[in-house]
Amino acid sequence: MFARKTLILFLVPFVLCADEAPPTYWSIHPVHIGGNAIRLGSAEVSDVPEKGNLIFGKYNAFVDVLVPVTPKSYFFPRVEWTTFTLDWDKNPKFKETQFNFAQFSLTFFTTDLEKWRWIMRAEYNLDTKHFNNPSQYGLFSALLWGENEINEQWHYHIGALGYTGMEGGQLWPVIGFDYSPNKKWTLLAVFPIEYYIQYNINHRWHLALKVRPLKERFRTDEHQPQPKSVFSYTTIGTEFDIHYEIFRRLDIEVYGGWNFGGDFYIKNEAGHNALYTHIGGAPYGGASLNWGL
């Protein structure tokens, strides 16, 4: 959930240059396709008698479209397909390891308010094997994120992020800041979404040290030792990131680092009788692509 920010990051150039008035709609490459991939190595499971090791990997592909409302406001409808692997070799509750879902989202992005940039996003995820059962296999999430310019160097961020579905729900505040002492360096810390120190080599190449939160919530199928189990996987890592962009056209990112582990729990169909455990550290790597047609 927290890691699903590729679209939001790629929208920034459109809004910042809204006053340029491009000659045609197609000159800003309004249709975008792309994908993301991340893979974590084997991590030790502790705090339960079974112990064992867990691996995690996630891959997706998406398409989105820019729909102008005003010169400084846009809608971005988006469709995404995601598959992820979560395999605990000693899992006593379920043997399923591959999970797939479709995501439908709508983002509204605006700078119409002076010195403010606002992102409003709603998304709905649904297991591709259980489209006929959205009450059990659907997950709704929403984001409200505002950025205010204090001056050219400092901005503060406020908002909220939350989800509901699969026998659970949670709401977090979005709060943080970013600081750019010059055009080369940026420090950003926005809980619970993103944290980085970035160095801009030039307008296309960027290097960064980042903190990457990861969170997944899903439900297994009915053919398991504990049918329709609900599980939650939450970890955090730090990485070195290389980023290349051609303005409004292409965005490529590759990264690698160390995941410090986190928490993993499994509940029954009704969201009770939880099995809680801790996940240890592991190396990880990934890449993302966003291409404007």
pLDDT at position 228, please?
A: 97
pLDDT for the residue 23:
62
Would you call the peptide bond into 22 cis, given omega within 30 degrees of 0 as the criterion? no
The two three-digit tokens of residue 37, written as one number: 């991939």
Please report which confidence band the pLDDT of residue 94 belongs to, taking 50, 70 and 90 as the band edges: very high
Q: What's residue 28's pLDDT?
A: 83
- For 53-80, what is each residue's pLDDT tens digit? 999 999 999 999 999 999 899 999 999 9
CB 81 within 8 A of CB 60: yes
pLDDT at 145 exceeding the cut of 70: yes
Residue with the larger pLDDT of the pair 284 and 11: 284
Cβ(28)–Cβ(14) below 8 Å: yes
pLDDT digits 0-9 by tens, 17-40 = 444 445 688 888 899 999 999 999
Mean pLDDT (the chain) is 92
Higher-confidence residue of 125 and 49: namely 125
Over 50: is that where the pLDDT of 6 sits? no
pTM flag (> 0.85): yes
Q: What pLDDT is attached to residue 232? A: 97
pLDDT computed for residue 22 by the predictor: 53
Q: Give the pLDDT confidence of 166-177 residue by residue, as tens digits.
A: 999 999 999 999
HEC profile of 128-192: CCCCCCHHHHEEEEEEEEEEEECCCCEEEEEEEEEEEECCCEEEEEEEEEEECCCCCEEEEEEEC
